[in-house]
Amino acid sequence: MLTDIAARLQALFDQVHLWCSQSAFWSGVFAVGWSLFKVVLIIAFMVVNVLVLVWLERKVSARIQSRLGPMRVSRPHGWAQSLADMVKLLGKEDIIPRSADRALFVIAPIVSFTAALLVYVVVPMGPSAVVSDLNIGMLYLAAVTSFTVMGVLMAGWGSNSKWTLLGAMRGAASIISYEIPMVLAVLGVVMLAGSLSTTAIVQAQSGLWNIVLQPIGFLVFLAALFAELNRVPFDMAEAESELVSGFNTEYSGLRFAFFFLAEYANLVALSAIGVTLYFGGWQGPVLPPLAWFLIKTYAFIVLVMWIRWTLPRVRIDQLLSFGWKVLLPASLVNLAVTGIYLLWV
């Protein structure tokens, strides 16, 4: 039944492709349309995942704190809570502070959101289910994940408020310092696979997952992930007990929703990257690749949430000294050991 529908869709797609390739104009239209379709697909995947994740996060935190969590909005277990929240956010007044830098203030959420969106381009969800299998996939990733800090800084500066600026400055400091150990940790995986392409990295793990070969690299990656995602214990940009709400203090309504969306979309994206790098990506027995990819990604996300609700926030100086004095040497040692292993073993 399902394969039948897939085959019919494939046939239809082939026909349209063939018809469009007859003229330069229509093949151009086809290319643009196909790209747009992919973008819409990614955004849909992202939004659905974010809605599930916001609910999941509240449930996980509730269970860890021996509470029930959202229960009221629809049975079972208030699954429609995030839908209701989203509708509520859309109805909120959109406020731009009078002293804010309007242009930056308006652009910042879009930049954040786009940065999150861009990561999905190289996430392999199956043997051929990747938007674009770039041969410099990991380099692209390292570049694109840094864009998040642009959104944070723009929001912090553009709001023209002391809390947002402090949050943005700290966020930038933490993201930039943790980017380096993260990339160095990822480099170990790249050396093992012999390629920067995410698809090739997954294929290189068909025998043994990288978590077994790169335990230190994985721990460094995991620690840096929290700084990259602005999550407790490294949520310097938000720090709600110190900075009201950090960089997004002045935002409300739809613009705030965009930051929220970007935050959780980043969580999905970086968890997917973590699964790709260290847990064999979409590979697994019996079930289809996409199912394995989703199972592993969600397991990784639950791990991240579990850690987030276990640890308290660190101070900014502790954060930076941990990044430079522990993570950076550890990732360098990991890199050296991997190099020695590849050369002589």
Partner 1 sequence: MRSLIDIVTGFWSFVVGLGVTLLNALRRPVTFQYPERYYVPLEGFRGYPALVVDPDSGEVICTGCQACARACPLGVISMEVAQREDKKRYPTEWRLDFGRCMVCNLCVEACPFDALRMSPDYEVAEYRPEDLLYDLEHLKLPREPIAVSRLDGTTVKVSFAGGERG
Q: Which chain residues interact with partner 1 by CB under 8 A? A: 60, 62-68, 71, 306-307, 309-311, 325-326
> How far apart are CB 225 and partner 1 at their closest, in Å?
15
Q: Which is nearer to partner 1, 139 or 314 (CB)?
A: 314
Q: Which is nearer to partner 1, 84 or 110 (CB)?
A: 84
CA gap 49, 119 in Å, rounded: 15
> How far apart are CB 331 and partner 1 at their closest, in Å?
13
DSSP code for 325: I
Q: Which is nearer to partner 1, 307 or 332 (CB)?
A: 307
Nearest Cα to Cα of residue 217 among 263, 302, 266, 274: 274
Please give the backbone phi and psi of residue 122, each rounded to the nearest 5 degrees, phi first: -105, 10
N-to-C CA span, the chain: 50
CA gap 10, 175 in Å, rounded: 43
> How far apart are CB 79 and partner 1 at their closest, in Å?
16
Q: Which is nearer to partner 1, 295 or 307 (CB)?
A: 307
Nearest Cα to Cα of residue 259 among 129, 124, 106, 139: 106
> How far apart are CB 328 and partner 1 at their closest, in Å?
13
Q: Which two structure tokens, joined as six digits, stand for 152?
A: 């944070």
Neighbouring CB atoms inside 10 A of 252's CB total: 15
> Which residue intervals of 65-146 are DSSP H helices?
81-90, 102-119, 137-145
> How far apart are CB 329 and partner 1 at their closest, in Å?
10
Residue 63, C-beta contacts closer than 8 angstroms, at least 6 positions apart: 69
Q: What phi-psi label fits residue 66: left (phi over 0), alpha (psi between -120 and 50 degrees) or beta? A: left
> How far apart are CB 305 and partner 1 at their closest, in Å?
10
Which helix H or strand E contains 295, and what residues bound it? helix 289-308
Q: Which is nearer to partner 1, 32 or 64 (CB)?
A: 64
Q: Which is nearer to partner 1, 6 or 311 (CB)?
A: 311
> How far apart are CB 310 and partner 1 at their closest, in Å?
4
Q: Which is nearer to partner 1, 256 or 322 (CB)?
A: 322
